């Protein structure tokens, strides 16, 4: 499941991030509940919010917000539905890459967006790696 509460300049970015998550976290379909063992676990992953970044000026004060993607995961027992642990990671674009893109001539004259779909894919991938590392640290305790 993928949700977003922030408007994106690319209308299909929401669906694209969902597809990317499905590829990264590819697991087999869950069998019927009566076939689960007591220690079988499930993992739900969502992107509750993502920002593609931007800039503005308020009374001659420049404001910048970097692109970011937050990923949340829930590890739970399939048989009982008991939640074992909830994880959250946020991946942001580095300042140097953001500022480089912000002041690029194509972006300044409106020929391209500051951060494109491919850039958001990189953030989702980096966040997914961090999320999987966090899950791996604790999942063996519950198996």
> In order along the chain (143 residues), what is the average pLDDT of each group of 10 residues?
38 74 81 75 85 72 80 90 93 82 68 72 92 89 75
pTM of structure = 0.72
Contact between 60 and 78 under an 8 Å Cβ cutoff? The reply is: no
CA 46 to chain centre: 7
Decide if 31 is inside a domain: no
Decide if 29 is inside a domain: no
- Return the closest-CA partner of residue 66 out of 96, 90, 98: 98
Decide if 30 is inside a domain: no
Decide if 4 is inside a domain: no
Contact between 74 and 129 under an 8 Å Cβ cutoff? The reply is: no
Decide if 32 is inside a domain: no
pLDDT at 105: 66
pLDDT at 127: 93
pLDDT at 126: 93
Question: Which residues constitute the domain of residue 121?
Answer: 13-22+37-142
**Number of domains into which the chain is organized:** 1
């Amino acid at each position: 499941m993928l949700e977003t509460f922030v408007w994106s300049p690319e209308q299909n970015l929401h669906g694209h991030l969902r597809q990317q998550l499905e590829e990264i976290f590819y697991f087999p379909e869950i069998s019927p509940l009566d076939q689960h063992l007591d220690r079988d676990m499930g993992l739900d992953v969502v992107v509750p919010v993502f920002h593609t970044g931007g800039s503005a000026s308020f009374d001659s004060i420049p404001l910048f917000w970097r692109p970011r993607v937050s990923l949340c995961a829930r590890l739970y027992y399939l048989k009982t539905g008991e939640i074992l642990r909830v994880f959250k990671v946020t991946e942001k674009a580095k300042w140097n890459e953001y500022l480089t893109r912000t002041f690029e001539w194509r972006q300044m004259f409106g020929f391209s967006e500051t951060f494109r779909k491919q850039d958001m894919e990189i953030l989702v991938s980096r966040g997914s790696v961090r999320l999987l590392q966090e899950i791996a640290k604790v999942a063996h305790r519950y198996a």
